[in-house]
């Protein structure tokens, strides 16, 4: 669930999707069917609308560090991302593709041109794996680039083993920067890549989940290309079938403090997805 400040000082917007048991989007919910609690206290819902009007801006970050040298399916994965873009990017949306090792390098500009995006993904497929993994630095750099595009819903998809080993940014500072820029992160964690140790893998998964939860995204793990395809389909459903809930915040939220937000739906056999995180500072 992604949150951002609305124009009123005491109103924030939370983006959520609601799915049925089969994973299909539920798109006919009314405002009275939602409830919002912040730190356990009920909050007034100002407005609920289907989130189809706000343009999307998506950053796709691909790990091309030395740890990916054994990846023999990268071309297939890039074709999966090409299909994802064709289904998600609409005329008012834009995306940018970047690869990262010990630094972050964009291979496209901000664009909705299918040819440019496909060419950028091809460059990633052909990149020679080398260097350390500065994942956190790349996340912050991408979020700050997307932040310049006002009036858009900002999302990052990051595909990596999530074993950062060279960033200047810490995990805590990275999470805070995602919140400050209003950027939701969807980690795509590759379990097939080699790991230094079980402990390193455990810490990587914890980092991916923390970044996702605190930014308003959701983390996915996969061990084969088909798993990536499934994850991207779930992300597509969430992004293209979201609700924007405007609600009045608590005093703690207005001071930029961490708050627990819980959104529920008064309908059986459905679930709210990508829910969690803290409120970014209201500016």
Tell me what the mean pLDDT of segment 190-197 comes to. Answer: 86
Residue 257's pLDDT band (cuts 50, 70, 90): low
Q: Quote the radius of gyration of the chain (alpha carbons, Å).
A: 18
pTM for the full model? Answer: 0.87
Contact 38, 260 (CB under 8 A): yes
Tell me what the mean pLDDT of segment 86-100 comes to. Answer: 96
Residue tagged 């919910």 (tokens): 29
Q: What confidence score (pLDDT) does residue 13 get?
A: 83
Q: What confidence score (pLDDT) does residue 57 get?
A: 94
> Given a cut of 70, is residue 280 above it in pLDDT?
no
Question: Smallest Cα–Cα separation from 161: which of 139, 135, 189?
Answer: 189
Q: What is the CATH number of domain 56-239?
A: 3.40.50.410
Question: Smallest Cα–Cα separation from 194: which of 134, 133, 137, 135?
Answer: 133
Residue 277's pLDDT band (cuts 50, 70, 90): very low
* In the chain, where the domains are located: 2-52+241-273, 56-239
> Bridge partners of 212?
none
Higher pLDDT, 213 or 85: 85
Contact 274, 16 (CB under 8 A): yes
Q: What confidence score (pLDDT) does residue 4 get?
A: 58
Indicate the class that CATH gives domain 2-52+241-273. Answer: mainly beta
Q: Give the separation between CA 215 and CA 230, rounded to whole angstroms.
A: 22
Residue 274's pLDDT band (cuts 50, 70, 90): low
Helix axis angle, 74-88 to 225-240, nearest 10°: 20
Contact 55, 152 (CB under 8 A): yes
Q: Give the separation between CA 46 and CA 24, rounded to whole angstroms.
A: 26
Question: Smallest Cα–Cα separation from 231: which of 219, 239, 215, 242?
Answer: 219
Residue 113's pLDDT band (cuts 50, 70, 90): very high
Q: Are strands 94-100 and 270-273 parallel, antiparallel or unpaired?
A: unpaired
40: left (phi over 0), alpha (psi -120 to 50) or beta: left
């Amino acid at each position: 669930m992604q949150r951002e400040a609305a124009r009123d000082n005491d109103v924030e917007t939370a983006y959520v999707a609601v799915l049925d048991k089969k994973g299909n989007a539920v798109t006919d919910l009314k405002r009275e069917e939602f409830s919002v609690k912040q730190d356990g206290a009920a909050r007034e819902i100002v407005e609920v609308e289907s989130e189809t009007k706000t343009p999307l801006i998506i950053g796709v970050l691909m790990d091309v560090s030395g740890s990916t040298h054994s990846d023999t399916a990268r071309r297939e994965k890039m074709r999966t991302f090409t299909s994802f873009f064709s289904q998600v990017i609409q005329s008012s949306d834009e995306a940018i593709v970047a690869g990262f090792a010990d630094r972050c390098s964009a291979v496209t500009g901000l664009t909705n041109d299918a040819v440019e995006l496909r060419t950028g993904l091809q460059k990633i497929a052909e990149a020679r794996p080398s260097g350390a993994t500065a994942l956190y630095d790349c996340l912050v750099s991408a979020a700050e680039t997307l932040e310049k595009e006002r009036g858009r819903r900002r999302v990052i998809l990051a595909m990596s083993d999530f074993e950062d080993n060279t960033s200047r940014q810490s995990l805590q500072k990275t999470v805070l920067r995602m919140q400050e820029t209003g950027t939701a992160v969807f980690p795509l964690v590759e379990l097939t890549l080699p790991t230094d140790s079980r402990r390193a893998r455990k810490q990587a998964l914890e980092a991916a989940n923390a970044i996702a939860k605190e930014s308003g995204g959701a983390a996915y793990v996969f061990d084969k290309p088909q798993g990536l395809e499934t994850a991207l389909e779930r992300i597509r459903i969430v992004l293209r079938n979201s609700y924007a809930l405007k609600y009045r915040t608590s005093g703690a939220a207005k001071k930029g403090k961490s708050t627990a937000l819980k959104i529920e739906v008064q309908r059986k056999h459905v679930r709210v997805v990508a829910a969690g995180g803290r409120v970014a500072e209201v500016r």
